[in-house]
Amino acid sequence: MNNEGRNMNNEGRNMNNEGRNMNNEGWYYLHQNGSLIYKNDPDACADIRESDFALALWPLNTAERACCWRILVEALAAGAEPVHVKQLAEHWNCDDEDAGRYASYLGARLFRDGDNWCATRADFVDIMSSPYGFGLTALDAFAALAKALGYKPATLCGLEFSSLVKVKDGQ
């Protein structure tokens, strides 16, 4: 799939993450047993961060497409139960077509390679020297790329997938 020139705002689906915490609907966190758990309380963050069972924490704002994609990609990369992550992706309409818009928003590359999807950073050269991710779905490919880029789950001050994908000047 060529994702160049795709509109980030498809049918009102905004990829912009600015102000995402201002409209926070609640929090998802990754439990150490692999469960992805939702707390429907915008103020639940402190309790989750203090828990010994929480491995990662994400604000939820379903009006921001990038917020939904971040939760899905990072949760899958961090070891969340794949079935639950895929159910959320379906519920939020985060499909392979929408993934192309997310890749454009990130400045990443997403394309088909045979029966699989491949996700890379924009500076991809080849599989011998560049990080990449393959998967049966675009979501799987993004999660594999997150792992290849060294994504680590965190409840406080961790690097987001979007930061890991960005090509920095001089690299």
Question: For the chain, first and last CA: distance in Å?
Answer: 26
Strand ranges of the sheet holding 132-135, from the earlier edge strand across to the other edge: 109-113, 116-120, 132-135
Mean predicted confidence (pLDDT) in 139-158:
93
What phi and psi, each to the nearest 5 degrees, are found at residue 134?
Answer: -115, 150
Domains of the chain, residue spans: 20-165
Tokens 């991809």 map to which residue?
124
**Nearest CA to 1 among 69, 100, 67?**
100
Residue 6 has pLDDT above 90, yes or no: no
- Cα–chain center distance at 84: 15
What does the pLDDT look like over 50-97, one tens digit per residue? Answer: 999 999 999 999 999 999 999 999 999 999 999 999 999 999 999 999
